[in-house]
Amino acid sequence: MKHVRIALVLGLVAAVMNSAWAGECKKGEHKGDKKEAQVKGTISVAKVSETAYPDLAKIGLDAAVKTALAAEPGKVLKVELEEANDFLVWEVTVVKAAKTIVTVTVDAGDGKVLLKETEDPEDADEDKGEHKGDSKDGDEEDDEGGE
């Protein structure tokens, strides 16, 4: 009888967790996952340490930025060399004149644009709020550590 109760509880927990995750997907919080799955680059990094990424990239940071700005004119906010769908890519985040944010994914192997994603302004506002809270917490830690 005890095993039946445990199985029921575990089943309920799994159902609730699955339902919560599905609800997040409906809100669009996992939109990037589907788009990232479309990325097909030229350098596979499925079983490669992140520390090897710079040596594997055939296209450098400057070339990736130039390509991204040609595709989406604006000002560069940040550039990251990372993995997307097991391929090595440059993600160049650009702020457009209209103050929209676009992330351009550039293949680190051949320099082609693989994906362009425009950030939802509401997401940008949420991120801004999270960062404010994060820095506030960080300030409190610095105050405690400095005394």
Distant-in-sequence, close-in-space partners of 73: CB < 8 Å, separation ≥ 6: 94, 96, 97
Q: What is the pLDDT of residue 38?
A: 80
Q: What is the reported pLDDT for 140?
A: 44
What total of structural domains would you count in the chain? 1
Q: What is the mean pLDDT of each run of 10 residues along the chain (147 residues)?
A: 45 41 39 66 96 97 98 97 96 96 98 94 59 45 46
Has residue 23 been placed in a domain? no
Tell me, what CATH number does 108's domain have?
Answer: 3.10.450.40
**How many CB atoms sit inside 10 A of residue 57's CB?**
20
Residue 29 domain-assigned (yes or no): no
* 92 found inside a domain: yes
Structural domain that includes position 71: 38-136
With a CB cutoff of 8 Å and minimum separation 6, the contacts of 114 are 39, 40, 41, 84, 89, 105, 106, 107
pLDDT (0 to 100) of residue 104: 98
Instruction: Answer whether residue 144 is part of any domain.
Output: no
Q: What is the reported pTM?
A: 0.63
Query: Can you give the pLDDT at residue 13?
Result: 39
Nearest of 46, 64, 137, 144 to residue 103 by alpha carbon: 64
Query: Is 27 contained in some domain?
Result: no
Q: Please indicate, yes or no, if residue 19 is contained in any of the structural domains.
A: no
Q: Note the pLDDT of residue 126.
A: 59
